[in-house]
Amino acid sequence: MVTDDFYRALEDRFRGSRDVIKRRQSVYMPFVEALSSRSGRKMLDVGCGRAEWLELLSERGVAAEGLDLNEDFVKAGQEMGLSVFKADAMEHLKAQADGAYSFISAFHVVEHLGFNNLLAFLKEAHRVVEDGGAILLETPNPANLVVGACNFYLDPTHERPIPSILLSFAAEYSGFERVVIVPVNRGELHNDLQLMPGELMGATIINKVVSALDQNLMQAPDYAIIAFKKQDADLIRIAESLVSASPLSVSKDEEKDVNELIERVIEAEKEAVLWREKAARADEAARMTQETLQRAERNTLEMKAVAVDAQARAAAAEANANNARQQVTALVNSTSWRMTGPVRGVVEGLKTVGFSRRGIKRIARPVLTRGAEYLHEHPVLKQRVSDTLRRFPGLRARLVGIARTEVLRAASSTPTLTVESVEQLTARARTVYEDLQQSKNSNHR
């Protein structure tokens, strides 16, 4: 059995201090003071407990009385000089006349009644409140999962949690024309949840999770309904003003971080653009360098080909030179070259002294004729000269032609070397001519 002293000790441990409760309940004072100014009737607080609400009303000059079944609470309230008495709520209401009170309040009472007793209480409260009056019922909010699943059951005298829409409907069903639901005490949760700035990556998903936590775990731990017996626009407006929307704020720290991050991203993008431009220029330079290298490689190959060709031509020229040197050496060492040495000397001498081509031929013919006669007399030498001249067919043909002409001329004339006019010759030519004559005469002897 839950005794009065146990329940008071339980309230002192888990409900909070008197100052905390008065601060929480003060949220309703704008509405209560407006209602009190319109009516001269007193107010009733059902289940007044430690009488924080009655004390708050007394401090504001609002006439009110309270009842409770717990003798410890009643005694403490009376000692504070408040109008508190022990009574059963239903019995007390049934004993009151219609419209006896302007306002009836009950903080954390209806969850103790059971639903059938709750409906009966609402009907009696509707009868007892005057037409311009209202009732205020505060109870734990099961929309807060921690409250609905755990904290509600810290009080062993609680029957069951009552959702706000069910209690609102029950009041309307009992005859109240308008009901306003007021979530309260959310600030007591010290909710530190904040939404992430939308610009942050993943914010949409994370904010959905944060909102779900806020709407379930962080809902106001308590709520109240203010039910009006008759419609009153002014009082309803005041009651609705007590409902403060508490949307989650966007984290200022994260918003600052996001802004800084965005600035860093912008700077990084600018830097990336610069590096992309540098990379493009580097690629172009690399491409041009590659083309230059390719051209240089082609030029190198061409130069190598030219060098190879030049080397081949040089080798061929060297071979031709060697062959020519060999031919010259063979010619110089030949008997014919030695034999024709005097003739070559005479020819060169004649060229030097100024003989004409025709004059040289006239001198050469008798010399060659005499040479042919000499060879005829020496068969061995004749054979060597013949073999030598056979290798030079052009020279051989001219020499034979000259020799034959002189032989025919010799057949019709005396074999005497004659010159048309020695006076026509230069001094040097006359000397050569005289030497040839002496050579001819000596050969005849």
What Å distances lie between residue 238 and 35, 149, 180, 397, CA to CA? 10, 33, 10, 151
Q: Structure tokens of 114?
A: 């059971």
* Mean pLDDT along residues 411-431: 58
Angle between helices 18-25 and 52-59 (to 10 degrees): 60
What Å distances lie between residue 327 and 162, 304, 391, CA to CA? 137, 34, 12
Q: What is the dihedral of CA 33, 34, 39, 43, to 10 degrees?
A: -40
Question: Mean pLDDT in the chain?
Answer: 81
Report the C-alpha gap between 15 and 35 in whole angstroms: 28
105: which strand partners? 45, 136
Among 278, 68, 280, which residue's Cα sits nearest to residue 157?
68
pLDDT, one tens digit per residue, over 214-225 is: 666 668 899 999
Q: How far is CA 210 from the centre of its chain?
A: 30
Q: Predicted confidence band at 116 (pLDDT cuts at 50, 70, 90)? A: very high
pLDDT, one tens digit per residue, over 293-306 is: 888 888 888 888 88
Check residue 154 and report its DSSP letter: G
pLDDT value of position 140:
96
Residue spans per domain, the chain: 4-249, 251-333, 336-444
Angle between helices 233-241 and 29-36 (to 10 degrees): 160
Report the C-alpha gap between 44 and 53 in whole angstroms: 11
136: which strand partners? 105, 226
Q: Predicted confidence band at 356 (pLDDT cuts at 50, 70, 90)? A: low
Report the C-alpha gap between 161 and 142 in whole angstroms: 6
* Mean pLDDT along residues 256-265: 64
Q: Is the pLDDT of residue 80 over 90?
A: yes
Long-range contacts of 290-299 (CB under 8 A, 24+ apart): none
What Å distances lie between residue 200 and 268, 271, 272, 347, CA to CA? 17, 22, 21, 115
250: which strand partners? 195
pLDDT, one tens digit per residue, over 422-442 is: 666 677 777 777 777 776 676
SS3 342: helix
pLDDT value of position 36:
92
Long-range contacts of 187-194 (CB under 8 A, 24+ apart): 188/24, 188/221, 189/218, 189/220, 189/221, 191/218, 193/218, 193/248, 194/248, 194/249, 194/250, 194/251, 194/254
Query: Euclidean distance between the first and final Cα of the chain, in Å?
Result: 189
Task: Give the number of other CB atoms < 10 A from CB of residue 89.
Answer: 22
* 178-184/222-228 β-pairing: antiparallel
Q: Is the pLDDT of residue 319 over 70?
A: yes
Contact 7, 73 (CB under 8 A): no
pLDDT value of position 321:
77
Contact 63, 43 (CB under 8 A): yes
Task: Name which residue leads in pLDDT, 238 or 145.
Answer: 238
Report the C-alpha gap between 73 and 358 in whole angstroms: 172
What Å distances lie between residue 188 and 10, 144, 279, CA to CA? 19, 13, 60
Report the C-alpha gap between 75 and 86 in whole angstroms: 9
Give the chain's radius of gyration (CA, Å). Answer: 73
pLDDT value of position 98:
96
Fold of 4-249: Rossmann fold (3.40.50)
| pTM score, whole prediction | 0.55
Contact 170, 119 (CB under 8 A): yes
